[in-house]
Structure 1
């Protein structure tokens, strides 16, 4: 594999006859295993649609499992032209992308499918401000995640006190801190190692990802609520996009829409939801809070909303209250709000 093949400006471009479209090969890098449902049911479908719509003028090659760089580095990899397209979890760099972290707020989003479309629509006007050195193509969510512990009860916020917790993103890290826990910030591919070595007592994760990353045999206790979602984005190196023919560039942008964000998230959402029953089948302990206990969780996480508003105000948002209200309304209109 040659480095030149991976550099951003449309990796391979060949001029054929006048009747042939310009051909472009793009490198897409991500940090999930190649068997992950986001690749098998999402990325591959998206790529097939692009290749078909371009009449073979665009080819996209996938490099999974951190082959080209660590998970937290994927934004910079797209920005710097190390790859043409990258898949990122903005929450792996807490504080760097405060606006998009609205989607991480606990007890807000409970539907990764329609929620992905709605969140993309809400974030789109902010993307150029917050991620101006790349082209934001897709913005989507995973199915709601929760907390999974090695032992002991997971029922009320005080159960987090004094524990080491691997959060999913910067917002869940702050949640853990508010409850008296210590956050151990490692990406999902390192979840199993953190649990097995005792670095983490508890991990945040959607249900199915426990199996994807081999952690299902290291946890026994599960908080049975839709606690949070994580936001993801597909980014395109802007020079790569601009180097494409006008026709190919339009094909790419036609596949960078809220509708495609929902499509690419849907298969993964289904797979994550199936994981809960798999955990039940293993005989694990699921703790479902009653109404009063659930209110304890909501009260404990409520300060995160005001923290988000202050953070985005500091980042240049003139009316954080209006931005938050628009976010909630967009999610509610999509029937994706935790009520």
Structure 2
């Protein structure tokens, strides 16, 4: 009789284990751009398909673009932390003050243009200096937007004089400081608000990556696009991150955790970089040549000189917030192509 009960218990345990192994885990993935964006179509969707393939369908994604879970882009990081979403793709700088160490990667002329060049630097900086910014998250990727350019309506920007009194959209606190140093007036707003704001004359243009130009239809309301000299650091970057709720990750079976692990970190950063740079190239190529405004080497050097105080002021401010600003700035410079 005892053996019979043991046999039944064993059979139930085996059945339960098998059922658990076949359970489908759906990951709610939220972000701030449209479903048609490069980020969703060429990176997030293929990444989710890879997880589904390697897990034999046990891992699936349910995507929520354009803030469909509610809230604003500034709340995305909190949505992942609180479990409203399982995974978010966001810009840490949208959540002002919550990721202070990562701001060093967004300082003026700090990173090379192009995601393939910039992403490895950003990941190394995250690993060496900024892990504490992301406590409570399972970090899947920390990468960049490939560098921002100036897109304007009706006025070409080729030098410092052209920037005087222009109202330009800024994506972050550090981008705003850059624009101020260059003589422009920054207006902070997420990508979704840029096009309408330019069309209504609220701002004259935007400091933005080419990656957001087509999906936000920025190209329909701007007609001048400034281009820095080839091989030089970008005006500035927006750092982006794919963050997972740590409790959700911990709740998954170990084999599914392993699938997410091997498709994240540098592997996911490379996926972002390849799709990102290809998209940037296509966006630029689709722009009429007469709309491109070349910044000469002397004018570019003058812009860098005007913006130089921003980094040192940031280090002082960071130290005032309890961080070692000098260590963070020196670390960023050592990893990057920025000013020494």
User: TM-score per shorter chain, which class?
Assistant: 0.7 to 0.9
- The residue matched to 1:279 in structure 2 has which SS? coil
Q: 1:280 aligns with which of 271, 285, 288?
A: 288
- The residue matched to 1:302 in structure 2 has which SS? helix
* Aligned equivalent of 1:40: 41
* Aligned equivalent of 2:274: 266
Change (3 A) 1:108 1:37: same
CA distance in 1 between partners of 2:16 and 2:334 (Å): 48
- The residue matched to 2:21 in structure 1 has which SS? coil
* Aligned equivalent of 2:219: 216
Deviates more, 1:229-238 or 1:174-183: 174-183
* Aligned equivalent of 1:325: 330
Residue deviations 1:63-99, cap 9 Å, x none? 1111113222111111111110001112223433221
Pairing 1:281-320 to 2, within 5 Å after superposition: 281=289, 283-284=290-291, 286-318=292-324, 320=325
Pairing 1:1-339 to 2, within 5 Å after superposition: 17=18, 20-69=21-70, 70-109=72-111, 110-225=113-228, 226-281=234-289, 283-284=290-291, 286-318=292-324, 320-332=325-337
1:112 CA displacement: 0.6
1:18 CA displacement: 5.8
Deviates more, 1:183-192 or 1:161-170: 161-170
CA RMSD of aligned residues (A): 2.4
**Could you tell me the TM-score, scaled by structure 1's length?**
0.86
- The residue matched to 1:256 in structure 2 has which SS? coil
Is the contact between residue 144 and residue 206 of structure 1 (CA under 8 Å) also seen in structure 2? yes
What are the ranges of 5 or more consecutive residues in structure 1 without an aligned counterpart?
Answer: 1-13
Equivalent residues, number? 319
CA distance in 1 between partners of 2:323 and 2:105 (Å): 16
CA distance in 2 between partners of 1:208 and 1:143 (Å): 8
**Could you tell me the TM-score, scaled by structure 2's length?**
0.85
* Aligned equivalent of 1:9: none
Change (3 A) 1:91 1:222: same
CA distance in 1 between partners of 2:258 and 2:318 (Å): 32
CA distance in 1 between partners of 2:334 and 2:24 (Å): 42
Change (3 A) 1:133 1:20: closer
Deviates more, 1:87-96 or 1:228-237: 87-96
**Higher Cα Rg: structure 1 or 2?**
2
1:135 CA displacement: 2.1
What are the ranges of 5 or more consecutive residues in structure 2 without an aligned counterpart?
Answer: 1-14, 229-233
Residue deviations 1:256-280, cap 9 Å, x none? 2123212123212211122222223
